[in-house]
Amino acid sequence: MNKNRCAEIIYFLLSTFIICGQALYNGYPLVTNDSGIYILSSFSLIPPIRFPIGYGLFIRIFSWEYTMWMVIYVQALIMNLLIYKAISLAIPTKKNYFIHLSIIIFLVLFSSLGWYSSQLMPDIFTPGIFLIFFILLIKPKLSVLDAFVYLTVLFFFLICQLNNLLTSALSILTFLILLLFRSKVVIDRANAFKRLLLLSTGLICSVIFLMIYQYYNGNGFRLSLEPHVLLAVRLSENGLLRRYLDENSDRLGNQIYQDIKLMPITSHDFFQTNKSHNELMRSSIGEWKRADSLYAPIVYGIMTTPRYLIKYIWENVKGTGIQLYKLNVGDEIRAFRENSLPYLAIKDHLDNDGNEFLHTSQNYGKLKFNTIDFINYFVIGISLILIFWSFFNGRISKSIILLNVICLLGYFYNAVVTTSLIGISSHLQSRISWLLVLDAMIIMYSLIYQTFNLSLLKPARPESDI
């Protein structure tokens, strides 16, 4: 291994600590209530209720059943490498390391990146998917090894959350349409089609893997155990479920009607509090299966009746608008003490981490997010201005324009999908918001380099290719 290669590796290993900054500051990786479920599934390797197995596998591989620190370090390292690759493809300069370092420091300080990469949650992988999209669509030459590595990473990202599958499918479809009607977006159209095919392969593999995994565990050849329950919660939240039940109570069993009418009005209440009507159902797969079959005809009725469907679409349009603005960084990061699911999961399986877990800033309730959120909103606003301006600036390279499109699409589709399927939540949107800040930083550096005539190595693509 030559000296430069060695220095590069050391650089990435060390700079990853910056991205882990929030976990180091906290004293332990950040957790949410769902982290406990993922940790448990990493030991049992049984697909957890509501979530696919992907992140459980990821934890299993990198925790060595010993510590959670390695898990967040590896996820931060992956994100670090992807960010570096995106930067070097968008701004081809010799000063890549300086730009990269300054950008990750800025992102960790002023955006949601650090807070999500330091969380024992698969949310950080959602923006990773869009970075892979960008890299694969813009990279001029892709070796077999490169393709394999990116596909493997994409595969892991996709099997970590079901909504990632839909978001990716929508993005691939959009790019396909974009390539057909506006080929100027990419530099090499034929190559872009091939890359989209590659991405689609990754997506299909992920879907098949998840279905086989469910089948193997005796849950049938399907993606999710309880799709109707999840959708019913969303329908309950926007009032549509109650309306349907009120108007169709005569056709439905009275007991079902009474039970479901008691459903909480927010998904948070439904899944995470003691008020949960489905508290019992949380405990066993059998109960969830029963619940799913209970909700299935209701969800089907709503989705196939134009009157309700129109209302559902309207609610989702509104919801998407609301979701686009839900950017509180610390959503769901609260104190988890001795009786909490994350603590019990860690204590039971990772004896070393138990004490450390309890003595963190998070679990003493010392993490406050008011000022951080305030800065985050402000930085995203300024980032949007820069991104918008780059569309007007004739000197911005096509690679950056493509990055703009991917980041904005990712941000928008994430809002659409999470709103339609899960519910409105800051946690689900701010996980991806730092992509906009990254994009704006890249634009800014690109402009600085042009304005001051600093040497760029070469254009993103030769103009002849364009």
Partner 1 sequence: MIQGEKAYFNIGTVKAILYFLFSTLIICGPALFNGFPLVFSDSGMYMASSFDLMPRVSRPIGYSIFIRCFSFQRSIWPVMYAQCLIMNFLIFKAITLIVQTKLKYFVHFSIIILLVLLSSLGWYSCQIMPDIFTSGIILIIFIFISDKKLNILSSIVYLFLLVIFIISHYSNIPLTILILLSLFIMILLKPDIFIKLKTAYLRLLFLTFCVGISMLFLMSFNYYHGKGFRMSTTSNVFTSARFAENGILKKYLNDNCGKINNELCNYKDSIPDNVNDFLWSDKALLTKMGYDFSKWESADSILSPIIHNILSSPKYLKFLFWEGIKGTLQQLFKNDIGQGLVAFREKSAPYKEIKYKFSEDETNEFLNSLQNRGLLKFNNINLLNYVVLSFSIMIIFFGWYYEYLNRYAIILTITSMLGIVYNAAIISTLSNIGDRKQARLSWLVVLLALIILYQVVIQIRKVISKKPHTFQS
Helix (H, G, I), strand (E, B) or coil at 30: strand
Residue 370 is a binding residue for partner 1 (CB under 8 A): yes
CA distance 7 to 449: 25
Q: How many CA atoms lie within 13 A of 10 on its CB side?
A: 7
Residues in contact with partner 1, shown as a per-residue x/- string from 50 to 89 under the rule CB under 8 A: ----------------------------------------
Say whether residue 364 binds partner 1 (CB under 8 A). no
State the burial class of residue 1 (Cβ atoms within 10 Å of its Cβ: 0-12, 13-18, 19+).
exposed
Q: According to CB under 8 A, which one of 13, 322, 337, 365 is a site residue for partner 1?
A: 322
Residue 451 touching partner 1 (CB under 8 A): no
Distances (CA, A) of 184 to 170, 178, 405, 461: 20, 9, 12, 13
CA distance 448 to 438: 15
Residue 93 or residue 361: which is nearer to partner 1 going by CB? 93
Options 174, 217, 305, 450; binder of partner 1; rule CB under 8 A = 450
Dihedral sign (CA 442, 124, 430, 355): negative
Figure out which of the listed residues 40, 68, 396, 432 binds partner 1, where binding follows CB under 8 A: 396
Which segment (103-111, 324-332, 347-355, 427-435) binds partner 1 by CB under 8 A? Answer: 324-332
| Binding of residue 388 to partner 1 (CB under 8 A) | yes
CA–CA dist 202, 225 (Å, integer): 22
What sign does the CA torsion over 409, 113, 158, 290 have?
negative
Residue 272 is a binding residue for partner 1 (CB under 8 A): no
Stretch that binds partner 1, among 60-68, 114-122, 223-231, 452-460 (CB under 8 A): 452-460
Q: In angstroms, give the least distance from the CB of 382 to partner 1.
A: 8
Name the residue among 335, 338, 328 with its Cα closest to residue 375: 328
Helix (H, G, I), strand (E, B) or coil at 119: strand
Identify the sign of the CA torsion 433, 436, 439, 440: negative
- Taking the complex as a whole, the smallest distance from the CB of residue 323 to partner 1 amounts, in Å, to 8
Q: How far is the CB of 461 from partner 1 (least distance, A)?
A: 10
Query: Burial of 143 by CB count in 10 Å (0-12 exposed, 13-18 middle, 19+ buried)?
Result: exposed
Q: Which of 97, 209, 377, 408 binds partner 1 (CB under 8 A)?
A: 377
Shortest distance (Å) from residue 302 CB to partner 1: 13
Query: How many CB atoms lie under 10 A from the CB of residue 121?
Result: 25
Distance (Å, whole) CA 336 – CA 155: 31
Out of 140, 220, 381, 462, point to the residue binding partner 1 (CB under 8 A). Answer: 381
As a 3-state breakdown, the chain gives helix, strand, coil percent values, each rounded to 5, of: 70, 0, 25
Part of the chain binding partner 1 (CB under 8 A), chosen from 44-52, 153-161, 213-221, 396-404: 396-404
- Interacting residue with partner 1 among 398, 403, 406, 414 (CB under 8 A): 398
Regarding 424 and contact with partner 1 (CB under 8 A), the answer is yes
Q: Tell me if 460 contacts partner 1 by CB under 8 A.
A: yes
Find the binder of partner 1 among 5, 392, 451, 464 (CB under 8 A): 392
Burial of 347 (0-12, 13-18, 19+ CB in 10 A): middle
- The answer to the question of residue 26 lying near partner 1 (CB under 8 A) is no
**Window contacting partner 1 (CB under 8 A); options: 62-70, 199-207, 316-324, 342-350:** 316-324
Q: How many residues bind partner 1 (CB under 8 A)?
A: 46
In the complex, the smallest distance separating the C-beta of residue 325 from partner 1, rounded to whole angstroms, is 4
User: Strand (E) positions, 13-163?
Assistant: none
Minimum CB–partner distance for residue 165 and partner 1 (Å) = 26
Instruction: In whole angstroms, give the CA distance from residue 314 to residue 325.
Output: 18
- What DSSP designation does 124 have? G
Task: Determine which residue in the list 211, 265, 335, 408 makes contact with partner 1, applying CB under 8 A.
Answer: 265
Question: What is the distance between the alpha carbons of residues 327 and 432, in angstroms, rounded to a whole number?
Answer: 9
Q: Which of 220, 239, 253, 297 binds partner 1 (CB under 8 A)?
A: 239
300 binds partner 1 (CB under 8 A): no
The residue among 153 and 460 lying less far from partner 1, judged by its C-beta, is 460
Alpha-carbon Rg for the chain, nearest whole angstrom, is: 23
Quote the tokens at residue 462.
């030769």
Q: Cα 438 vs. chain centroid, distance in angstroms?
A: 16
The binding site for partner 1 (CB under 8 A) comprises 91, 184, 237-240, 243, 265-266, 311, 315, 318, 321-322, 324-326, 370-371, 374, 377-378, 381-382, 384-385, 388-389, 391-398, 400-401, 424, 446, 449-450, 456, 459-460, 463
